[in-house]
């Protein structure tokens, strides 16, 4: 009797899906903060030294939050690509195992 032992290998990672969702959610939550910082009226404080510091902080925070938001979106895309690669590998392994039976 000749036979081939095969096992169905299933590559899934719920953590990747959860991470992808978390990255996208975090990026989405930062977007309104960036918009609010950009719309902040730094002249309302009155005193020139304080207004200058507030404007510097506004620009820095807005820029940094924008960078973090973009990085989170890119992380979500990478997690999606990894998940896709795992799914494709799983399908290829399943087909190969099925052909060997």
| Per-residue pLDDT band at 42 (split at 50, 70, 90) | low
Q: Which residues of 17-50 are buried (b: 16+ CB within 10 A; e: fewer)?
A: eebbeebbebbeebeeebeebeebeeeeeeeeee
- Residue 11 domain-assigned (yes or no): no
- Residue 9 domain-assigned (yes or no): no
pLDDT at 31 over 60: yes
- Residue 5 domain-assigned (yes or no): no
Please give the residue range of the domain that contains residue 37: 25-94
d(CA 94, CA 100) in angstroms, rounded, equals 10
d(CA 81, CA 87) in angstroms, rounded, equals 10
Over residues 43-75, the pLDDT tens digits come to 665 666 666 777 787 788 888 888 888 898 898
Number of compact structural domains in the chain = 1
- Residue 41 domain-assigned (yes or no): yes
Contact 11, 89 (CB under 8 A): yes
- Residue 10 domain-assigned (yes or no): no
- Residue 16 domain-assigned (yes or no): no
- Residue 64 domain-assigned (yes or no): yes
């Amino acid at each position: 009797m000749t036979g081939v032992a095969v096992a169905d290998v299933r590559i899934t990672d719920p953590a990747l899906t959860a991470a992808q969702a978390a990255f996208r959610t975090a990026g989405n939550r930062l977007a309104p903060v960036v918009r609010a910082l950009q719309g902040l009226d730094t002249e309302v404080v009155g005193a020139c030294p304080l207004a200058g510091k507030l404007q510097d902080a506004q620009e820095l925070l807005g820029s940094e939050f924008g960078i973090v938001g973009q990085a989170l979106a890119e992380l979500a895309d990478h997690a999606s690509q990894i998940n896709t690669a795992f799914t494709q590998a799983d399908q290829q392994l399943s087909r190969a195992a099925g052909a060997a039976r």
